[in-house]
Amino acid sequence: MTLSSKRIRMILGFMAFNVIGCIFLRLSLSTHNSPQKIQIPTRFWQKPSLSGTFWNQQQQRLDFIHNPNFNTILASPSELPDWLHDSKLKSDVCKPNLRVQRQIADYNLLPKHFQDFLLYSDCTSYPMLINQPTICEDAPFLLLVVKTLVPHFERRQAIRETWGQVGVVANRTVTTVFLLGSAMPEDNHPNLTDLLKYEAEMHRDILQWDYRDTFFNLTLKDILFLDWYSSFCPNSQFVLKGDDDVFVNTPQIIEFLDRLLPHKIPDLFTGDVITNAGPHRDKKLKYFVPESYFVGSYPPYAGGGGVLYSGQVALKLQEVSKKVVIYPIDDVYTGMCLKKLGLVPEKHSGFRMFDIEAKYKDNPCIYRTLMIVHSRTPQQIKHIWRWIVHPELHCQ
């Protein structure tokens, strides 16, 4: 056989091999739905079974949207599956979401304050009325954050004169801010706008947003604060957030943090932790949550009257709050956010959100060992503070 004939036979054999390969590939592709689409194994993207309760269903949708694999595969919102099309998660314009009246079967039977919460639960952004944009210029060691109401002038002043004193405390810089919404006539609040403006100008520690300040909006207050924190105070080392009726032993808090500082504590979150809890179903209770809104147990959470956490946790909470559907109980919501971050709040015996035994209430030495006690009147706060700073008081 000549060299040229061998070459011809090799070429023909190679061509036949390519033809057979193309036929095989064609037959293989024809067994799929479409040769234009990448086939994804169904075990990864099966349609989940949606919960029948409102919050749980909204959270399922939010989890799906924030799944990084989902965002990689789907290029635009128009590609959302049908079961996501009716989801309204966040809104820049705060208008009542009237659809919840149809989505929650017993909506008309719920208490008025819960109906109000549901109507505006999509709204998590409100304009600021009073800001202190430079209050954290010197990056405080400890930022004291106090949740309060417009009429509570006496409580705020008692805190300023005692545990909320700003400046250098126990050789550490301390800054205090008060968080407020708007006092509405429908909540039987008088118009105190001018007085509040005067107070803000005098003390430079008021942060106020233009939303209705109610119990079920305490979660909203937390979210708005975290957004403010990330913009105006991201370099503070620690945050202590509490109500305006708690007593805080600020020197003891700083001593506690100083002892921790040799160790890295970026994930610090501590307080009076509650475990194995769930929603209350009695409509007469302040914390009532209906079954049509939420089912399941609560994650571990620290009582919202007073919690202590690192600045890094504050920034993480701000980010993850965009991935957790708002919940009407503020401390439970924070517990949900911590769970999403993979963090668990640490219980500390110095945080007493349910007060102390009656026989110890007049014992000054007891207060020196505690961090936070709930609740106390402005007069009691001033009285206890004198015990704390009294140089002649000796405790065993």
Q: Does residue 116 have a pLDDT over 90?
A: yes
27-to-18, 24, 35, 385 alpha-carbon distances in Å: 14, 5, 11, 84
- Quick one: average pLDDT of 295-308? 96
- Quick one: average pLDDT of 61-85? 61
Query: Dihedral through CA 63, CA 66, CA 70, CA 73, nearest 10?
Result: 160
- Quick one: average pLDDT of 338-366? 95
Q: Strand 142-147 to strand 238-243: parallel, antiparallel, or no bridges (unpaired)?
A: parallel
So what's the pLDDT on residue 93? 60
Res. 9 pLDDT band, cuts 50 70 90: low
Contacts of residue 224, defined as CB under 8 A and 6 or more positions apart, other chains included, come to: 124, 125, 126, 179, 209, 211
Q: Does residue 85 have a pLDDT over 80?
A: no
Separation of alpha carbons 286 and 304, rounded Å:
15
For CA atoms 331, 337, 340, 343, the dihedral sign is negative
Q: Does residue 17 have a pLDDT over 80?
A: no
Global confidence as pTM = 0.84
**pLDDT tens per residue, range 244-265:** 999 999 999 999 999 998 777 8
Separation of alpha carbons 303 and 305, rounded Å:
6
Q: Does residue 38 have a pLDDT over 50?
A: no
- Quick one: average pLDDT of 269-294? 97
So what's the pLDDT on residue 393? 78
Contacts 24+ apart (CB under 8 A), 103-110: 103/54, 104/54, 104/290, 104/292, 104/293, 105/292, 106/290, 106/292, 107/292, 110/290
- Quick one: average pLDDT of 336-343? 98
Separation of alpha carbons 335 and 302, rounded Å:
7
Separation of alpha carbons 370 and 95, rounded Å:
44
Domains of the chain (ranges; CATH) run: 128-389 (3.90.550.50)
So what's the pLDDT on residue 265? 85
**pLDDT tens per residue, range 162-174:** 999 999 999 999 9
- Quick one: average pLDDT of 347-370? 94
Residue 315's φ and ψ, nearest 5 degrees, are -65, -40
Query: Dihedral through CA 312, CA 259, CA 342, CA 272, nearest 10?
Result: -110
Separation of alpha carbons 276 and 297, rounded Å:
7
Q: Does residue 72 have a pLDDT over 80?
A: no
- Quick one: average pLDDT of 31-42? 46
So what's the pLDDT on residue 187? 86
So what's the pLDDT on residue 392? 77
So what's the pLDDT on residue 90? 46
Provide the residue count of the chain.
396
So what's the pLDDT on residue 40? 43
**pLDDT tens per residue, range 157-205:** 999 999 999 999 999 999 999 999 999 988 888 999 999 999 999 999 9
- Quick one: average pLDDT of 43-58? 72
Contacts of residue 389, defined as CB under 8 A and 6 or more positions apart, other chains included, come to: 251
- Quick one: average pLDDT of 372-381? 97
